[in-house]
Amino acid sequence: MRLLIIPLLAVVLASLACSSAGNPIVFTSDIDGNREIFSLDPEGAKLVNLTKSAGNEYAPSLSPDGSRVAFLSGDDEHNTLQVIALNTESDSRTRISKLDGSHRDHRWAPSGDRLAYLVQNGGDPSTHVAGYDGSNSMELTTIVAHEVGGWSFDGSSVVFTVREGPGKGIYVRNPDGVNEVRLTDQPDYSPVWSPNSHRIAFISERDGNPEIYVMNSDATELKRITESSGAEYDIAWSPDGRRIAFTSDRDGNPEIYVVDVRGGEVNRLTRNSVRDDQPVWSRDGKRIAFVSYLDGDGEIVMMDDNGQNQKRLTNNAYDDYAPTW
């Protein structure tokens, strides 16, 4: 394995105790022969295998304070949801869900003490909430949801999606099981809260192809902010709530773009003959990490928020993907 050493300037965040440079990028890689969860220090390019197991571990999600990683262990059809501490030499992990089946869409509460997730075992998926130590597990809703989009900033609501049938659309529900509200009744999906929870961005096919829309958290002031003949996906709010990074194939190849939420101005950040996708923002909003298939397999790349100073952080013959920062 070869890694490029990428120096970064230390950035002190006003709202967080650590800098983006000091905060690792966590991702999935099969560099050890099976899928594992790795952390990568973007300042020193130090790579650490966090899971070290003979089975497949994938789909990492960092807790809001960066101290824990939730991930899936097993195969895609039968797996468990687990949590491991990030900064520890021990491989001690906690199984969150005791349910059998296929887990997905695990999302941290902003307080870092709970997770929402989906589980499916042959029938319809069900939506659940549990403590990060596996305690206080409960079913979030009796509605058959197909996607969990995350928690509001104050932790008072979880947004989820029904992808088909007469109940299709976006819903929010209090995680303690009250105040369930249907926000849309269209083919809408991939909802993501803005950092201040005032708005929700999502993908909709209501106008024929996947485009990005934004609405207030009470479903008012619905606004379409992209318009192209291509598909838009992988949406991610900037920490200041002013922009959304996303992937689009509007120019014939999947590339990373940023759209200004207020004005609708779209800027293309990557220009490659290969696929670039899965953008994630640094915690200060100054950088974006993404996956690029530069040599046929996924590599983790970092750039400034305007697309400048692109730096390849991994360089190997294996798949590195699903970054979280």
Q: Six-digit token pair at 305? A: 């928020």
Residues 68-126 have pLDDT tens digits of 999 999 998 899 999 999 876 666 899 999 999 999 999 999 999 999 999 999 899 99
Question: Kind of pairing, strands 211-216 and 181-182?
Answer: unpaired
Residues 127-163 have pLDDT tens digits of 999 999 999 999 999 999 999 999 999 999 999 999 9
Location of structure tokens 């992990």:
93
- What does the pLDDT read at residue 17? 36
- State percent of the chain over pLDDT 90: 85
Residue range 304-314: average pLDDT?
A: 96
Q: Six-digit token pair at 302? A: 């970092």
The second-level CATH assignment, the architecture, of 50-224 is: 6 Propeller (2.120)
- Answer with the residue of higher pLDDT: 23 or 285: 285
Question: Kind of pairing, strands 158-162 and 102-108?
Answer: unpaired
Above 70 in pLDDT, residue 15? no
**Count of CB atoms situated within 10 Å of the CB of 207:** 12
- State percent of the chain over pLDDT 70: 92
Q: Six-digit token pair at 161? A: 């999606």
The dihedral region occupied by 274, where left means phi > 0, alpha psi between -120 and 50, and beta the remainder, is beta
Q: Distance (Å, rounded) from C-alpha 124 to C-alpha 136?
A: 22
Binned at pLDDT 50, 70 and 90, residue 5 comes out as: very low
Task: State whether residue 313 is helix, strand or coil.
Answer: coil
- What does the pLDDT read at residue 16? 37
DSSP letter, residue 126? E
Mean pLDDT, the chain, integer? 91
What letter represents residue 225's amino acid?
I
Q: Six-digit token pair at 174? A: 């209090």
Above 60 in pLDDT, residue 12? no
**Count of CB atoms situated within 10 Å of the CB of 252:** 8
**Count of CB atoms situated within 10 Å of the CB of 136:** 10
- What does the pLDDT read at residue 22? 65
